[in-house]
Amino acid sequence: MTAQPKLLEQVRNVIRRKHYWYETEKSEINWIKRFIAFHNMTPPRSIPAPKVETFLTHLAKMAEKTA
């Protein structure tokens, strides 16, 4: 039985299959890494929706500070 690729490899595979630009791939991978790091390296599938909203709120506040 073959092991399923890890999340970032799955994302890369989909992006490449869709022929997105390499810069898009780098950006998406970076955002996923930031999301995981924000949640203390918790696997993304186990992060509940309210925690996703917390991350998005954090991003919005950061954007306000730089505007």
Q: Which of 35, 33, 26 is nearest to 56 (CA)?
A: 35
Whether the CB-CB separation of 4 and 41 falls below 8 Å is answered with no
pTM for the predicted model, two decimal places: 0.82
The CA-to-CA distance between both ends of the chain, in Å, stands at 51
**In 1-67, at which residue ranges do the beta strands (DSSP E only) sit?**
none
Cβ atoms of residues 28 and 15 within 8 Å:
yes
Residue 48: HSE in the Cβ half-sphere, 13 Å Cα cutoff: 1
Q: What domains, with CATH codes, occur in the chain?
A: 7-66 (1.10.150.130)
| pLDDT tens-place string over residues 6-57 | 999 999 999 999 999 999 999 999 999 999 999 999 999 999 999 999 999 9
